[in-house]
Amino acid sequence: MNNEDKSKKKSAYSLLVQLSKKIEADIEENGTNYDALYMVMLSWEEEAKRQKEIVNRLRITAKNNKENFGKLKEHNRKANEEIKNLKSVYLESEKEKQNLRLEYEKAKKRIKELEKISKEELEYYRRDLDLDDQLNKKKRYLEEKEHAIDQKINNSALVHNRKINKLNKEVIDLKNTIKELKEIRPFIYQKRREKKELTSEMKEKKREELRGKRGGSQLTDKQIERLLLIYKNRKQIPVAQAISKLAISRRTYYRVINLDYTYEKTRNRIRKIADKLGIVLPEKKKE
């Protein structure tokens, strides 16, 4: 209900009250006036209807206002939640802003501290950097040198191993030579042994006997074997040195080696002994 309706209601009600009081006074003075009373009652009835309509409109308005109030209340609740969320965001923003401000202050302080560093300190720092670079270069150089030395050591080890293998082979060959020399040792000092002196006739007779038994050669199989072993080991022991320790001339040695005998039986005997010892005799030159 607006102010205009309220003023109209008040004026109509006041007029009815005044009219009712006037009729009541008139009735007391002049007696009952039914027409005037009827008019007053009719006016009160119309006023009652009008008041009822006003009340109905007020109820509808109150209902609408109640619904609007509920909507406004819900809107207000959502608005409060939104305000609360915004407030939380605002607080977080303020906190972050404060942290950023602190970081900014620290950065400013650090910048000021760095600006206070003298040129000498900067130069010293640069020298340290140069030293680090030199140390790194020296380290790389030493690593490369170490690698080269390792390679050289490995190569030297290979060469050394080859030399050791060669020496081992030579030792084995020398052992074999010593073994063969031990076999002929009993005959090396034959020259020093005491022999029975023979007359020239007895020697000639002995030679004839041996020549008949051995196919034209006075040498025994053992003597031929010694000469063949000297030939086999001629690279380790010179022939002249080996023969000098035997009671055999160099001419006889070369006759045996070159099969320089007239009798085929003697040559076959030498070949047989050489085959037994695994010795290959030099081929006889064709004339």
Among the three residues 25, 58, 91, which one is the final residue of a domain in this structure? Answer: 58
pLDDT tens-digit map of 20-48:
777 666 666 665 555 666 676 777 677 77
Q: Which residue, among 151, 217, 224, has the nearest Cα to 187 in the 3D structure?
A: 224
Place 212 in a pLDDT band, splitting at 50, 70 and 90: very low
Residue 194 has pLDDT above 50, yes or no: no
Q: Assess if residue 117 is contained within a domain.
A: no
Give residue 56's identity as a one-letter amino acid code: N
Does residue 203 lie in a domain region?
yes
pLDDT on residue 214: 46
CA neighbor of 254 nearest in space, from 216, 220, 284: 284
CA distance 132 to 264: 92
pLDDT at 103 over 90: no
Residue 79 lies in a domain: no
Q: What is the pLDDT of residue 275?
A: 93
Whether residue 207 has pLDDT greater than 70? no
Label residue 272 by pLDDT band (50, 70, 90).
very high
Last residue of a domain, one of 58, 89, 106: 58
Residue 114 maps to a domain:
no
Q: Does 49 map to a domain? A: yes
Domain enclosing residue 247, as ranges: 182-277
- In this structure, the number of other CB atoms found within 10 A of the CB of residue 243 comes to 19
Across the chain, what does the average pLDDT equal?
75
Residue 200: φ, ψ to 5°: -60, -35
| Residue 129, pLDDT score | 67
* pLDDT at residue 18, as a whole number: 73
State the pLDDT at residue 202. 61
Please enumerate in sequence order all residues whose Cβ is within 8 A of that of 36, keeping only pairs 6 or more positions apart, or say none.
23, 26
* pLDDT value for 225: 92
* Model confidence pLDDT, tens digit, residues 224-237: 999 999 999 988 88
pLDDT band, very low/low/confident/very high, at 157 (cuts 50, 70, 90): confident
Q: Is residue 63 part of a domain?
A: no
Between 228 and 197, the more confident residue is: 228
Residue 16 has pLDDT above 90, yes or no: no
Residue 273 has what pLDDT?
Answer: 92
Give yes or no for a contact between 9 and 51, defined as CB atoms under 8 angstroms apart.
Answer: yes
Q: Is residue 216 part of a domain?
A: yes
How many domains is the chain partitioned into structurally?
Answer: 2
